[in-house]
Amino acid sequence: MTASIAPHKKAKALKPGSRRPAKELCSECGLCDTYYVHYVKEACAFLNQQMAALEAAAHARSRDLDNPDELYFGVHQQMMAARKTEPIEGAQWTGIVSTIACEMLTRNLVEGVVCVQNTERDRFQPMPVIARTPAEVLAARVNKPTLSPNLSVLEQIEQSGLKRLLVIGVGCQIQALRAVEQQLGLEKLYVLGTPCVDNVTREGLQKFLDTTSRSPETVVHYEFMQDFRVHFKHSDGSTETVPFFGLKTNKLKDVFAPSCMSCFDYVNGLADLVVGYMGAPFGWQWIVVRNDTGQEMLDLIQDQIETQDVMSKGDRKAAVQQSIPAYDQGVTLPMWAAQLMGVVIERIGPKGLEYARFSIDSHFTRNYLYVKRNHPEKLADHVPEFAQRIVDQYELPD
């Protein structure tokens, strides 16, 4: 499995602040911060879209585009909803991701876990680390909804002599990781992914918090949830909810990173196992087992979780079609109208996998328009076939 590493030994990492090869589309995944920058033109998700080929390499086949579930959710063996019977204190949800990582270290399946802690001065400033103990994994719990250079630790992996590794990451990071996987000299790589959409710079995050939350300085974490509300958790333990339709879209339309506005891997299709929320009922996590390695990881915690079958209810298409011009024009509703619309949609709107499809459709149509308008020369090569089929279901403005 180990391949020659001579080429990247000759490459120098790009200096912080230097112009990245992907330019404004750079997702700051961290690859260019290492000597693996040698591979960036092939590995970067925004320079070389190669989902089908990498899926085949990671899962022994590409997704079946004629299978409606695989068209949307990628190659998988099974999907389910789950939650821990004894949640981890301080976890964003119940702590399934952290628990898997801790178990893998405790059972010596891996020697290290690539995850993201935060800096001492800023709870939302990501700090990628190679965790060697469960305590170091737990220090990384809770999402950091900002661009994070997870792959900046790749040099440390080789230099430390690690041979068995778990990497936790999002789609753009995992595509680059898969592209250089054979160059890492590992005996075994496990990839635990989370769905990802709409990250921001740290400055963009602050603008979102200041614009949306009643108390931005006390927000511990937040998530866009299945009930069509943004849920903020505050340091005093209280929860604040804001309806999607009440967001100040006119002020926030340009806050998201261009890389996220150009991404079509919402569901992290190259991970072995994906843990998120969008395909599960409220309060549960959505788990997607993509291959045997993913099943091996999930098996470690079967006695610590309760599960239920995934479900799908409602019809998303009218809501998606209506959302396209609303976002495009930066429509912002008065809060009373947003609250009312939120109640109605929560009762009759899409749920379970249909909510997941709603979210995917909404973001793919938006991102397709962004690429078409801002990078038309990339459109044909950058949009995967599965995303093109999804977008083709809708009428888009010019």
pLDDT (tens digit, 9 = 90+) per residue, 51-101? 999 999 999 999 999 999 999 999 999 999 999 999 999 888 899 999 999
Is residue 272 domain-resident? Answer: yes
pTM, to two decimals: 0.92
Is residue 133 domain-resident? Answer: yes
Measured distance CA(357)–CA(316) in Å, rounded:
7
At residue 7, the pLDDT reads: 52
pLDDT (tens digit, 9 = 90+) per residue, 252-285? 877 889 999 999 999 999 999 999 988 999 889 9
Measured distance CA(5)–CA(180) in Å, rounded:
10
Is residue 352 domain-resident? Answer: no
The owner of tokens 């496990």 is 190
Is residue 303 domain-resident? Answer: yes
State which H helix or E strand residue 374 sits in. Answer: helix 353-374
Q: Give the total number of structural domains in the chain.
A: 1
Domain that holds residue 281: 6-199+259-312
Is residue 354 domain-resident? Answer: no
Is residue 329 domain-resident? Answer: no
Is residue 144 domain-resident? Answer: yes
Contact 118, 124 (CB under 8 A): yes
Measured distance CA(40)–CA(31) in Å, rounded:
7
Measured distance CA(93)–CA(223) in Å, rounded:
10
**Residue 312 pLDDT more than 60?**
yes
pLDDT (tens digit, 9 = 90+) per residue, 113-153? 999 999 988 888 999 999 999 999 999 998 888 899 999 99
Measured distance CA(126)–CA(173) in Å, rounded:
14
- How big is the CA angle at 297 (ends 61 and 224), to the nearest 5 degrees? 85
Is residue 157 domain-resident? Answer: yes
At residue 3, the pLDDT reads: 37
Question: What is the dihedral angle through the alpha carbons of 177, 197, 81, 239, rounded to the nearest 10 degrees?
Answer: 130
**Residue 10 pLDDT more than 90?**
no
Helices and strands counted in the chain (H then E): 16, 13
- How big is the CA angle at 140 (ends 15 and 114), to the nearest 5 degrees? 55
